[in-house]
Amino acid sequence: MLSHAAHAAEDGSDRISWFEAGSGDPIVLVHGLGTSGAWWNRTIPALAERHRVLVVDLVGFGRSRGQPVRLGAAADQLAAWARATGLERAAFVGHSMGGLVVADLAARVPDLVERLILVDAAGLALPQHVTRHLANVVRGGGSLPLEVYPIALGCALQCGPVTIARAAHQILATDLADRLGRISAPTLVIWGARDRLLTPAFGRRLAAAIPGARFETIDGAGHSPMWEQPAEFERRLETFLAEPPTTAGSVRVNEPAAEEEIVEALPSTGGRVASRYLALGDRTIHARLGRPTGPLDTPPIVFVHGLLLASRGQLPTMRRLARRHLVFAPDLPGFGWSLTRDRALDVPGLGRALIAAMDAAGIGRAVLVGHGLGSQVAAQVVADHPDRVLGTVLVGPTFDPAEPSPVGQVRRLLADVAHEWPSLWLEHVPALILSGPRRALATLDHARAHRIESVMPEIRVPTVVVRGEHDPLAPRRWVRELAALAPMARALEVRGAGHALAYGAPKALARIVDDLAEAVATAVRPRTDGVLPMRIVTATHRRRPAARPRRTRAGPPRG
């Protein structure tokens, strides 16, 4: 008979719920993505005959739902829960996403983990092809017993699709390769021989990264061997738990883990743009990072996204610039894949969050590229933190005072539809789901109340205010006026483009940003004796043709 108990973590912000059964040596079971402790129901009765079994619902899942999922903090949350329950040392079993969490725990808090069992676990870098992973989940689901489907459906409905999507994205962006070598607990890696989501080859790589780890496969099982081959799974588990510590795992016992900074130094991505998660107190910030191989001779370029689309809308331009610059684009709190419990932030608050993300990533002075709302945030950051900005590009600044009416702003937005790629508007649907309409509307109110024209005179760094030729949200007159207000600014226009230059005209915008970064790096400054005239840039942006050429996938032209 299982009993249920609930516990609030020591800091009072995260609640972890768990089931408990049996008595004896403690063993903690941690579930995978989109499930809960119920995923272990077929294993618990046999284990409870010899062990004190504690079945945990991770924060955001099962009875621990209602809180943001932060995989980067999950190991610390689990350690706080163990201390609060008086658990001094135990065996930890993690399945899939839960394996990632308990492996991180074993590396961070080695004294707590007596033995480590990883079951078809995540933890190493995964190719970020979400559709392929979803297809593998569907194909692999056919091998599960019928009784598991109601449990899986109930767990998925309990935590919700947004939580699952956020957690899945964090799994794809998490790589514990540099920490796995610190695991000192005896470790068994169990894998389903027919696992299509994470193949046995992936499991062998995981085991090879952990000192002394043993790798075993279970025939006839896929991604969830505890359901597909429960008797064999329990036999392997009990055999491993009964072995003397010296016969399994590493000979290093209780070796303390090295002190670890919250965020590691930004590594080279080989010129590609990759996802990273940054821990900022009780927030988890998602960011996109690109860095070429070799030394850098230009300052970092930090992108600040607009109202809804988050950093994803900057990707086409980032990919071009990442070939020779360090590029960094955080999702501001509450947008994209970033998590927060705070209310919608105003423009100065978003600016402070941007500086905090730069600090966490180790970025000092940078060139800021703000789009739409992001141009307001970038301008505010220059005014509030002039020592952190070397230059700025303000793209399509919105909320022209000549059109204060919300209805007029909507009319301008609709006029821009004809000048953007259709895929851009499709990107807004998941973006709105992730942020939520309430946060989007609240942030919109803050943006309308912020007056960028009052901040422009305080911007005393090289600045480019740029618009697309057909951008109705940032009229030519408005862009010229803003550029005239800043002592070191000039106005540019990209011919043939609409509002979303980073998405629809990446080559032209990348050239503008590259020119500014080069000028800043070589201490070349534009004229400051008066207002510079607007210059028309011949865009390499492709005009929308009457009949679009066929593309292999929806999206803007990529460099």
H-type alpha helices, 403-495:
406-416, 422-435, 437-449, 452-455, 476-485
Name the residue type at position 208: A
Q: Please give the pLDDT value at position 270.
A: 64
Beta-bridge partner residues of 18: 5, 56
Residue 273 bridge partners (DSSP): 290
| 2 vs 6: CA distance, rounded Å | 13
pLDDT tens per residue, range 407-466: 777 777 777 777 777 787 777 777 777 788 888 888 888 888 899 999 999 999 999 999
Helix (H) or strand (E) holding 521: helix 506-521
pLDDT at 401: 81
pLDDT < 50 positions in the chain: 1-2, 4-12, 247-265, 524-554, 557-559
Is the entire prediction scored with pTM above 0.85?
A: no
Q: Which of 513, 494, 504 is nearest to 544 (CA)?
A: 504
CA distances from 277 to 242, 262, 328 (A): 38, 10, 12
CA distance 164 to 172: 12
Identity of the amino acid at 443: T
Which residues contact residue 240 at a Cβ distance below 8 angstroms, ignoring those fewer than 6 apart? 115, 117, 186, 188, 214, 248
Among residues 411, 393, 403, 406, the alpha carbon closest in space to that of 501 is found at 393
| Amino acid at residue number 292 | P
DSSP 308: S
| 273-537 and 3-247 share a CATH fold | yes
Q: Which residue has the tokens 């004809």?
A: 418
Which of 442, 251, 246 minimizes the C-alpha distance to 333?
442
Residue 387 token pair: 């020592």
Task: Give the number of other CB atoms < 10 A from CB of residue 315.
Answer: 24
Q: Which two tokens stand for residue 41?
A: 């129901």
Question: Which residues have a Cβ under 8 Å from the Cβ of 553 and sit 6 or more positions away?
Answer: none
**Dihedral pair phi/psi, residue 95, rounded to 5°:** -105, 130
Model confidence pLDDT, tens digit, residues 151-177: 777 777 777 777 888 888 888 888 888
pLDDT of residue 556: 53
Amino acid at 327: V
Gap between the Cα atoms of 457 and 487, Å rounded: 7
Please state, in angstroms and as integers, the Cα–Cα distance from residue 417 to each residue in 243, 303, 426, following that order: 66, 23, 12
**What SS3 class is residue 216?**
strand
Give the rounded distance of the alpha carbon of 70 from its chain centre. 10
SS3 187: strand
Structure tokens at 542: 């492709």
What six digits make up the tokens of 548? 């679009």
SS3 sequence, 70-119? CHHHHHHHHHHHHHHCCCCCEEEEEECHHHHHHHHHHHHCCCCEEEEEEE
Q: What is the DSSP letter of 547?
A: S
Which one of 3.40.50.1820, 3.40.50.2300, 2.40.30.10, 2.40.10.220 gives the CATH number of domain 273-537? 3.40.50.1820
**Under CATH, which number does the domain 3-247 receive?**
3.40.50.1820
Strand 90-95 relative to strand 51-57, pairing: unpaired
Residue 334: CB partners within 8 Å, gap ≥ 6?
Answer: 340, 342, 344, 345, 435, 436, 439, 443
CA dist., res. 181 & res. 149, Å (int): 37
The residues spanned by each domain of the chain are 3-247, 273-537
